[in-house]
Structure 1
Amino acid sequence: MTPIVDRPTTPAFFAFLAAALWGIWWIPIRYLETLGMDGAWGSVAMNAGAALFVLAWMALRRIRLRAGVTAAMGAALVGVAVSTYSVAITMADVVRVILLFYLAPGWSKIIEWAFMGRGWHWTSSVTIAASLLGAWLVLGGELSLSGLGLGDVLAVLSGMSWAGGAALIFTGGRSNATGLSLLTCLSATLIGTGFVILGQGTVFSGNATAAGAGIGALAGVIYVLPIMVLTLWSAQRLPPATISFLLTAEILSGVISGALLLDEPFGVMQAGGAVLILIAATAEVMKGLDNGVG
């Protein structure tokens, strides 16, 4: 019997599972805010806790960090994506942030075409057009930059960072997912600390914040780390646009949970934008229907 990790469908399954869990990322972030961990502090606590656990695990199991320069840069970029996404969630509507992040399949298509020598098919054009139109609808039909908040900008930047990081990990040769997870968590911790220094957080003070730091670190171990390992392990084995497509399962879990549990605006335009962004992602799997006409 073929071991589960060697089955060809396993990376896709793990990526889909990780995406469903990423979709409720906002819940621990928003909960930590109630404990005084506002701004970037929640992200810092969770990623620092995950990083410390990985360091201890690697030391106990004598696991060596195995990652080439390219893969390491990719892991660092994914860390940027995780941190900016976490901060964006504290600054803007959850549903809006999730949907703007998922311009990522569009960025991935551009990266694959421009830097990885992959062809540009009609599905590539559909991906870009649907992504941009979907983002326009999510933003309420606003064309002016004045309608963009910092949270919106960070959400888009997070998607771009993820697309670039996934491409570098995929092309960076075989690395161990444990080491890549460590690099990602360290990068996210450093970027989050940078946000705190820039004023996106409060100083540690009082029991509530101390408790929040401990709970955040624990959440990093039991929640962040498993989905980080699943995501990065899959990213080593799947093309960037493909994994970005699979990760759009986050839209389903994130938008549904956000719409049900939060009093945030989600009207016809936002729903239409969500559908278009899902179409943009789905276009990737329709590539097999392409007859070579770009």
Structure 2
Amino acid sequence: MHSNSTLGPSIAIAMSGAIWGVYWIPIRKLNDIGVTASWASLITIGLTAIFFVFLFTRQFIKTGRIPWHVLITVLLTGMCIIFYAVSLVLTEVIKTVLLFYLTPVWSTILDRVVFKEQISPYRIVAVISGISGLAVILGVAEGIPKISNLGDLLALLSGIFWAFAMIRVRNNNKAAVWEQVGAFYIGGTIFAAVFIFLPVEPNAATPSLPTLHEALFWLIIFIAAYLPSMYLMFWGAQRLPPARVGILMMTEIVFGVTSAALLSGEPFGLKEMIGIILILSAAIIDVSDRYSTSKSANLLE
């Protein structure tokens, strides 16, 4: 593939990762105003989901086809985004970003356990590095590392389910970009509605009209930024090797950690720095190994 044909998708993936890296800012701002992460997700994602429900319905009327593989992915991606959003208000931003970005660890384990793939020594090193980073972030220096709050658990689970969802996307890559984006928004709406009725977030009351009016600016930012970013991610991912996608999406870690360290007012010290290095190393080793493996396979064809 000519390099010019990959430039646009590469920029799209990197931009999407950068936008998701600062996802915590509108979530925290809305929560401070009185619109919890669940309600913010239901309002913004739900409004967009209505459009995609219309598209899926029209497709079914015209073709009689129900894209079951997409609908299953709906549940996984929807679960991921809500778990991630809620964790951002229940724990530190840096912990949420890093715990989510353990996806190379879970992808490797799922590839081995579920799909019986052979795992290279490099990916084993990536798993060890990622787990070590997890232990540092969770406080191995204070004893046995453990999940200290619900936010940590939700961030960890969001990464696990995201890894499984991306494996499904990789194995069912015939879906159109709009189907994948629509799955994300419909699934997010479903789980946001469920979370509203669970005793998870403090002060999770239905936002009043004055509160929504005060939050309008951030709600618009939410919709305007994250619908295009999802389209950019899926569009770019269909046009690039998975390894390159993984490398480019690391802009999420860079922007997430940097913005949180500068703007959130949360602790950022040696423990967080070591955790970042270990987890980022795991991601780099994982995608580099995937790239070299795919390159070798192409040479043999």
**Could you say which TM-score interval applies, normalised by the shorter chain?**
0.7 to 0.9
Which of 19, 22, 26 is matched with 1:21 structurally?
19
1:70: Cα distance to partner?
Answer: 2.4
How big is each residue's C-alpha offset from its partner over 1:50-78, in whole Å with a ceiling of 9 and x where there is no partner?
3235457x49xx97378732233224311
Q: 1:73 aligned to 2:72?
A: yes
* d(CA) in 1 for partners of 2:75, 2:242: 16
Alpha carbons of structure 1 residues 234 and 64: separation in structure 2 relative to 1, 3 Å: farther
Which of 252, 256, 261 is matched with 2:258 structurally?
256
Deviates more, 1:36-45 or 1:191-200: 36-45
Superposed, 1:33-52 pairs within 5 Å as 33-52=31-50
1:109: Cα distance to partner?
Answer: 1.8
Match in the other structure for 2:192: 192
Q: TM-score, normalised by structure 2?
A: 0.83
Match in the other structure for 2:183: 183
Match in the other structure for 2:134: 135
How big is each residue's C-alpha offset from its partner over 1:136-177, in whole Å with a ceiling of 9 and x where there is no partner?
111222554665210000000000111011110111141111
Deviates more, 1:28-37 or 1:88-97: 28-37
* d(CA) in 1 for partners of 2:172, 2:20: 24
Match in the other structure for 2:248: 246
Q: 1:161 aligned to 2:161?
A: yes
* d(CA) in 2 for partners of 1:103, 1:67: 33
Which of 281, 284, 287 is matched with 2:286 structurally?
284
Deviates more, 1:242-251 or 1:212-221: 212-221
Q: Kindly, what percent of the aligned residue pairs are identical? A: 29
* d(CA) in 2 for partners of 1:182, 1:113: 29
* d(CA) in 1 for partners of 2:67, 2:128: 35
* d(CA) in 1 for partners of 2:137, 2:96: 9
Q: 1:229 aligned to 2:224?
A: no
Alpha carbons of structure 1 residues 187 and 72: separation in structure 2 relative to 1, 3 Å: same
Deviates more, 1:195-204 or 1:255-264: 195-204
1:64 is paired with a residue whose SS is: helix
Alpha carbons of structure 1 residues 205 and 167: separation in structure 2 relative to 1, 3 Å: closer
1:183: Cα distance to partner?
Answer: 1.8
Q: Report the RMSD for the aligned CA atoms in angstroms.
A: 3.0
Match in the other structure for 1:273: 275
Match in the other structure for 2:92: 93
Alpha carbons of structure 1 residues 92 and 241: separation in structure 2 relative to 1, 3 Å: farther
Deviates more, 1:243-252 or 1:30-39: 243-252
Give, as a single letter, the amino acid of the residue that structure 2 aligns with 1:135.
Answer: L
Alpha carbons of structure 1 residues 183 and 220: separation in structure 2 relative to 1, 3 Å: farther
Superposed, 1:80-119 pairs within 5 Å as 80-116=79-115, 118-119=117-118
1:117: Cα distance to partner?
Answer: 5.2
Give, as a single letter, the amino acid of the residue that structure 1 aligns with 2:49.
Answer: A
Alpha carbons of structure 1 residues 204 and 213: separation in structure 2 relative to 1, 3 Å: farther
1:40 is paired with a residue whose SS is: helix
Does structure 2 conserve the Cα–Cα contact (< 8 Å) formed by 1:67 and 1:175? no
Q: TM-score, normalised by structure 1?
A: 0.85
